[in-house]
C-alpha cells in the first residue's frame, strides 16, 4: 500500500502526478491509503466506497473583549430602543392632552395642570428614580395613569439593569470571522495546514476574490503548529477536519473548551481508497469500505489513536467533539421580553380613559360630588386588586 511522498497527489503542470496518485500510476503500489474522490482522478485510478468527507475547519482562540461606552445600549436591541422611545413620547403626549384639555371638562380648576415642563420631567425622571412623587392636586385620571406608568417603567428599568450588570462583569467579545468571505476581509493572520498541496493549489488557482486574498496572507504550517498558533490573538487556522480532530484528541489535552471552530461547507471532498485502474481488488475494497463508513469505524479509529495521551476527564469519548464558546454573547432583548411592560402602558392609558369617561358621565348626570369621589375611588381600588 502506498502512502505517497506528496500526500494524496497533485496533477503537475507537466502532466504527471505526485503523491499516492503517482505511486499508483507508476506501479509502485496497488492500493493507496486514502485520496479525495474527484472526476479528474477517475480517468487514472479506481476508488473504493468513500469512508469520510474531507472538509475545512476554521478555528481560533478566544476573541478579545470589547470595552466601550456603547455597552450602555447593548442590553436592548435597536427595535426595542425605538419602541421605548415611541412609548415615552406617547406617554408624554397622552398626559399633556389628559391634563390640559380633558380633565378641565370635569373639574374647572386651573391648578390641575402641572405644566409642560413638569409633565415631561415626570415621565423622563421615572426612568432614573425608582420613586417619583405624583402631585397631590393632580386629577384622578392622571393619578391612575401615573401609577400604572410607574409599573411599566419599573419593569423596563429592572430588566435593563440586570442585563447591564452582566455586560459589565463579562463584556462582549469581538465578532470573529465565520466563513471565508469574512476571513478574507478581517485583520486576522491566517495559517493553513499543508498536506500534499491540495489546498495550496486550490486557493492559488481559484478565480474567487476571497480565495486570492487568503492565499496572499496565509502561511503553510504543520497541523500541530497551526493549532498552537491559533490561540494567539487575531490568528485563524484553516485545517482539514481529520487533522483538526486528531489534534484535539491526541495532542492538545483538554484545551478544546478554549477553542472556537466552524466547519466550512464550501470545501467538501469525499475520501476513499484509490486503487490501480481495473484492479481485481476493487470490488472487495468497495464492500469493505462501505461497511466501514456505515458502522462508524473511522470515528472510532480517530478516538482510539489519541486515547493514550488524551485526558479522560474531558469526557471526549462520550460526548464527541464540542467546541462551545466559553463566554457566549449576552442575549439581546427584544420586544417579547418587555411585553408585560408594554401591556402595562396600554393598561394605564385604558384605566385613565375609563376613569375620565366615568367622571365626565357622572358630571353630566349631576350626581353630587361626594358620591362621584366615592364611586371612582371604589372602581380604582377594584382595578388595583385585579392587578394584584
- Over residues 182-200, the mean pLDDT reads 79
- Over residues 29-52, the mean pLDDT reads 77
CA distance 255 to 267: 26
- How many domains does the structure of the chain reveal? 1
pLDDT of residue 132: 67
- Over residues 292-303, the mean pLDDT reads 65
- Residue at 150 is within a domain: yes
- Residue at 115 is within a domain: yes
C-alpha cell at 152: 411599566
Asked whether the predicted pLDDT for residue 320 surpasses 80, the reply is no
Q: Given pLDDT bands bounded at 50, 70 and 90, which one contains residue 321?
A: very low
- Residue at 63 is within a domain: no
pLDDT of residue 86: 92
Asked whether the predicted pLDDT for residue 317 surpasses 60, the reply is no
- Residue at 9 is within a domain: no
Q: What is the pLDDT of residues 223-268, one digit of tens each?
A: 777 777 877 888 888 888 777 776 666 555 445 556 777 778 677 7
Comparing 99-103, 285-289, 334-338, the range with the smallest average pLDDT is: 334-338
- Residue at 8 is within a domain: no
Exposure of 336 in the CB half-sphere (CA atoms within 13 A):
2
CA distances from 203 to 43, 214, 243 (A): 24, 8, 19
Can you give the residue range of the structural domain that contains 344?
A: 69-170+334-387
pLDDT of residue 162: 85
pLDDT of residue 293: 67
- Residue at 368 is within a domain: yes
Asked whether the predicted pLDDT for residue 336 surpasses 50, the reply is yes
Q: Supply the mean pLDDT for the chain.
A: 73
Higher confidence at residue 284 or residue 324? 284
- Residue at 316 is within a domain: no
Enter the pTM of the model. Answer: 0.52
- Residue at 182 is within a domain: no
Asked whether the predicted pLDDT for residue 283 surpasses 60, the reply is yes
Q: What is the pLDDT of residues 86-143, one digit of tens each?
A: 999 998 898 888 877 777 776 665 566 677 878 888 888 888 876 667 776 777 788 8
The closest alpha carbon to 271, from 8, 64, 37, belongs to: 37
- The single-letter DSSP state of residue 331 is P
Q: Is the separation of the CB atoms in 96 and 281 below 8 Å?
A: no
Amino acid at each position: 500500500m502506498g502512502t505517497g511522498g506528496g500526500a494524496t497527489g497533485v496533477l503537475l503542470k507537466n502532466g504527471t502526478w505526485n503523491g499516492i496518485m503517482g505511486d499508483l500510476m507508476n506501479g509502485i503500489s496497488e492500493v493507496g491509503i486514502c485520496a479525495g474522490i474527484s472526476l479528474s482522478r477517475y480517468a487514472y485510478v479506481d476508488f473504493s466506497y468513500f469512508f469520510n468527507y474531507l472538509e475545512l475547519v476554521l478555528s481560533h482562540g478566544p476573541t478579545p473583549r470589547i470595552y466601550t461606552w456603547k455597552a450602555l445600549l447593548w442590553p436592548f436591541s435597536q427595535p426595542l430602543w425605538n419602541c421605548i422611545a415611541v412609548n415615552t413620547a406617547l406617554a408624554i403626549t397622552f398626559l399633556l392632552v389628559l391634563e390640559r384639555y380633558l380633565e378641565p371638562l370635569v373639574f374647572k380648576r386651573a391648578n390641575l395642570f402641572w405644566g409642560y415642563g413638569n409633565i415631561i420631567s415626570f415621565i423622563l425622571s421615572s426612568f432614573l428614580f425608582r420613586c417619583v412623587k405624583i402631585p397631590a392636586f393632580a386629577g384622578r385620571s392622571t393619578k391612575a395613569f401615573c401609577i400604572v406608568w410607574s409599573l411599566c417603567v419599573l419593569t423596563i428599568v429592572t430588566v435593563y439593569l440586570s442585563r447591564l450588570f452582566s455586560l459589565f462583569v463579562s463584556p462582549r467579545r469581538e465578532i470573529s470571522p465565520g466563513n471565508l468571505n469574512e476571513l478574507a476581509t478581517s485583520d486576522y493572520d491566517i495559517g493553513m495546514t499543508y498536506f500534499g498541496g491540495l489546498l495550496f493549489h486550490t486557493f492559488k488557482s481559484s478565480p474567487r476574490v476571497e480565495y486570492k486574498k487568503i492565499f496572499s496572507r496565509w502561511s503553510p504550517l504543520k497541523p500541530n503548529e497551526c493549532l498552537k498558533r491559533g490561540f494567539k490573538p487575531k490568528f485563524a487556522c484553516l485545517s482539514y477536519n481529520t487533522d483538526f480532530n486528531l489534534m484535539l484528541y491526541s495532542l492538545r489535552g483538554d484545551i478544546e473548551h478554549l477553542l472556537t471552530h466552524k466547519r466550512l461547507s464550501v470545501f467538501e471532498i469525499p475520501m476513499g481508497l484509490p486503487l490501480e485502474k481495473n484492479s481485481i481488488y476493487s470490488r472487495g475494497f468497495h464492500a469493505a469500505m462501505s461497511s466501514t463508513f456505515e458502522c462508524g469505524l473511522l470515528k472510532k479509529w480517530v478516538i482510539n489513536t489519541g486515547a493514550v495521551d488524551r485526558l479522560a476527564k474531558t469526557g471526549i469519548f462520550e460526548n464527541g467533539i464540542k467546541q462551545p464558546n466559553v463566554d457566549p454573547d449576552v442575549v439581546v432583548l427584544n420586544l417579547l421580553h418587555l411585553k408585560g411592560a408594554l401591556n402595562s402602558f396600554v393598561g394605564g392609558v385604558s384605566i385613565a380613559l375609563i376613569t375620565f369617561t366615568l367622571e365626565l358621565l357622572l358630571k353630566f348626570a349631576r350626581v353630587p360630588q361626594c358620591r362621584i369621589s366615592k364611586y371612582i375611588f371604589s372602581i380604582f381600588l377594584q382595578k388595583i386588586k385585579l392587578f394584584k
